[in-house]
Structure 1
Amino acid sequence: MTPLAAAYARCRELNARHGRTFFLATRLLPPAQRPAVHALYGFARWADEIVDSGTSHDPARELAALERQLGDELAGRPTGHPVLAALADTARRHRIDPVLFTDFLASMRMDLDVTEYASFTELDRYIHGSAAVIGLQLLPVFGTVAPQRHAEPAAAAMGRAFQLTNFLRDVGEDLDRGRVYLPQDVLRAYDVDRGLLAWSRRTGKPDQRVRRAMAHLAAVTFAVYREAEEGIRLLQPVARPCVRTALTLYRDILHGIASVDYHVLDKRVVVPNARRLAVALPGLVAARAARATSGRLVWHRPDATGRI
């Protein structure tokens, strides 16, 4: 195995271990596209571990070092780190705009100091770097049947929908880390504050004020999913089953949150394996059919800036 192949294998291992839903969806991609997706996931996971694992003595310094190493790799100066080697190769092959990685790391740094967000406007600045850019990074890997810029809003919306779902599912765990990602103006509108969230987390007791605030935020998130879903038709057909499966399974988490009446402060909602299989199997059939006809499709390749 070459060093680069080993680097991609390491990223695949990270994806399989830590991103079960996303990894399942990547199995529906043509084999040639999967390594790039694993590399993008591996980099995001590495940065997230620096911020949230609790094992770093100086996460700000480690993030700064990571950004410097990434710059070296993208400039053709190997650092010896397998995740960065795979990421840089992916970025070059698919002409991914390096600004998307810079924006991602900027949001990771926000997690070191920002513990709450006053409004959706402020939260969206964080979500752009932490999640929307992931959708934009993946877009040139998946390919489009229209100019890429037409698909960018929906790709960003998909990352945003997944992140908002995470915020609702993980509100209790985030609270344990000292963070509240739910917008403060929405919480105040329902008479919810950090103290009430902490009480519900500690006691396991539901509260109608929390339920109403969570229901409001879930409704916003469902609307973002609808925006994201509109963009699937703009992707190359071979990528659509993967993306549709990932969207469906992640949206199922949101449905699961609603099904327990938003009482998630002391428990974690997961998609049952039977449901995951029920979604993945039709996706596999669609993926095979798309691959059979892919040779007749027009592939819109981005230029060096990531655009058509």
Structure 2
Amino acid sequence: MGCTVSTRELDAAGITDPDLRAAYTASRQINASHGRTYFLATRLLPIADRPAVHALYGFARLTDDIVDGTLPKSQQAAELFTLERTMWSDGHPVLRALRDTVARYGIDQALFADFLASMRMDLHVTEYATFEDLATYMHGSAGVIGLQMLPVLGTAGPRAEAEPYAAALGEAFQLTNFLRDVGEDLDRGRIYLPMAELNAFGVDRARLRWAHRTGKPDPNVRKALAHLVAHTYAVYRRAEPGIALLRPESRPCVSTAATLYRGILDRIVDADYSVLNRRAVVPTGQRLWVALPGVTRAAGQNAKAWARRLTSRPRSPRNASIGVPGSESSEVNSHRRISLGE
């Protein structure tokens, strides 16, 4: 079934070159294997737009694997340098799919430079003093993911109006990942939760590591995490108005993704913030239940979108030239990570 779905997506997107189809298929497999929540939400997008999301995810995952791997820091830095230098010409399947997506949707290449700059920070920065200090990292690691996605999702009005909300939603996803993965990040020697926020509750690196190592409840750590979860809920609320600014057929996907990621915060609360030694995960059944209304909404919106595109196609000869239905429409090109994760 997976191959059939992948073939249908590629056909709908007008991707006919065999090597390029293989490249997109490789990215899709990465998304399906490593980004289960993100992948599920992607299934709510118009079928022709899904390969682009797989390509963007595949690139982010490719980079993450370099930074979070076991190679020496010097070798990781060298691989990141090589990736940035060759990503617009290298024959790697994920990079081929990325380049095609960037060209099709007119995604700003500078966003990828910002992303790689944040990935390089992971090689030498092990903690951040304040949210202000974290802001630069989060712009590159999360905000730009939302901005990369925006041309694919399309907007109902000027893209610039939606950009702050798209960046905020990417940051909300990233903060959720930080809270979910705090124990795993400690094992890598990193703390992404701002130290000033932790220190306000009497928590420093040593105390956090002790709680992680022993697995014993620590009331100070609990209070600090509760504070940061509340902060992250607020970022979701700040990002939420942006969903209404998207192209209608993209709204079910983004709304579902936001609900699913926010559900990770709910699981952290349900666990009484005991996440240093276990990962808060939304169960598969609950993910499917949350996604079900989105499937219904997406089906209706996609049917309307195809009807509009079919009636307008004779007046839009440029669409056929790049093989992406509606990709030159005012909705898609009007004036954009989810940090990525499960």
TM-score by length of 2: 0.85
Equivalent of residue 2 in structure 1, options 11, 18, 29: 18
**Alpha carbon RMSD of aligned pairs, Å?**
1.5
State the AA in 2 paired with 1:45.
Answer: R
| Displacement after TM superposition at 1:285 (Å) | 0.4
* CA–CA distance in structure 1, aligned partners of residues 243 and 18 of structure 2: 35
The match for 2:154 is: 143
Equivalent of residue 44 in structure 1, options 30, 39, 60: 60
The match for 1:65 is: 82
* 2:277 paired with 1:260: no
| Displacement after TM superposition at 1:296 (Å) | 4.1
Specify the SS of the correspondent of 2:331.
coil
* CA–CA distance in structure 2, aligned partners of residues 84 and 243 of structure 1: 25
Equivalent residues of 2:66, 2:79 under 8 A apart? yes
State the AA in 1 paired with 2:263.
Answer: D
Equivalent of residue 30 in structure 1, options 46, 49, 54: 46
Map 1:223-262 → 2, pairs under 5 A: 223-262=234-273
* CA–CA distance in structure 2, aligned partners of residues 137 and 47 of structure 1: 15
| Displacement after TM superposition at 1:272 (Å) | 1.1
Specify the SS of the correspondent of 2:47.
coil
| Displacement after TM superposition at 1:124 (Å) | 1.1
Specify the SS of the correspondent of 2:259.
helix
Map 1:212-231 → 2, pairs under 5 A: 212-231=223-242
Gaps of 5+ in 1: none
| Displacement after TM superposition at 1:300 (Å) | 2.4
The match for 2:331 is: 300
| Displacement after TM superposition at 1:159 (Å) | 0.4
The match for 1:209 is: 220
Deviations 1:241-279 (A, max 9, x none): 111111100000011111111111011110011211111
Report runs of 4+ in structure 1 exceeding 6 Å deviation: none
- Percent identity between matched residues is 61
State the AA in 1 paired with 2:65.
Answer: E
The match for 1:13 is: 29
Equivalent residues of 1:236, 1:299 under 8 A apart? no
Deviations 1:142-196 (A, max 9, x none): 1000100000011001100000000001000000000000101111111001111
The match for 2:289 is: 278
| Displacement after TM superposition at 1:29 (Å) | 0.9
| Displacement after TM superposition at 1:302 (Å) | 2.8
TM-score by length of 1: 0.94
Equivalent of residue 157 in structure 1, options 158, 168, 172: 168
* CA–CA distance in structure 2, aligned partners of residues 274 and 101 of structure 1: 35
| Displacement after TM superposition at 1:55 (Å) | 4.1
Equivalent residues of 1:11, 1:39 under 8 A apart? yes
The match for 1:183 is: 194
